[in-house]
Amino acid sequence: DTGVSQDPRHKITKRGQNVTFRCDPISEHNRLYWYRQTLGQGPEFLTYFQNEAQLEKSRLLSDRFSAERPKGSFSTLEIQRTEQGDSAMYLCASSLRGLALKETQYFGPGTRLLVL
């Protein structure tokens, strides 16, 4: 499978615990995005990387959230001291930087987080 993969697919945790999600982009893609989607809403942008550099972060990304892409390949998203409001689907997408007119983002299956 050469698509975007995410792990785990589901995570249930207790409030106050830390969780970490992983995203593996399409192998030649140098851009990687994280989005969050709550029930009945469209995805909302969280952050994006170009290679290993984190170039933009949304105000939605509080101090409890941190994302890394250490070697410009896979990325991790960590949430510390989880709160019930963090319950959502976390989506990863990747793209190949090129002509902006044609840049297509490809999404993974998502990680569904439930904070009890």
Binding segment for another protein (CB under 8 A), chosen from 19-27, 67-75, 80-88, 108-116, is 108-116
Among 43, 67, 77, 113, binds another protein (CB under 8 A): 43
Binding segment for another protein (CB under 8 A), chosen from 16-24, 63-71, 76-84, 89-97, is 89-97
Is there binding between residue 73 and another protein (CB under 8 A)? no
Is there binding between residue 77 and another protein (CB under 8 A)? no
With tokens 């297509």, the residue in question is: 104
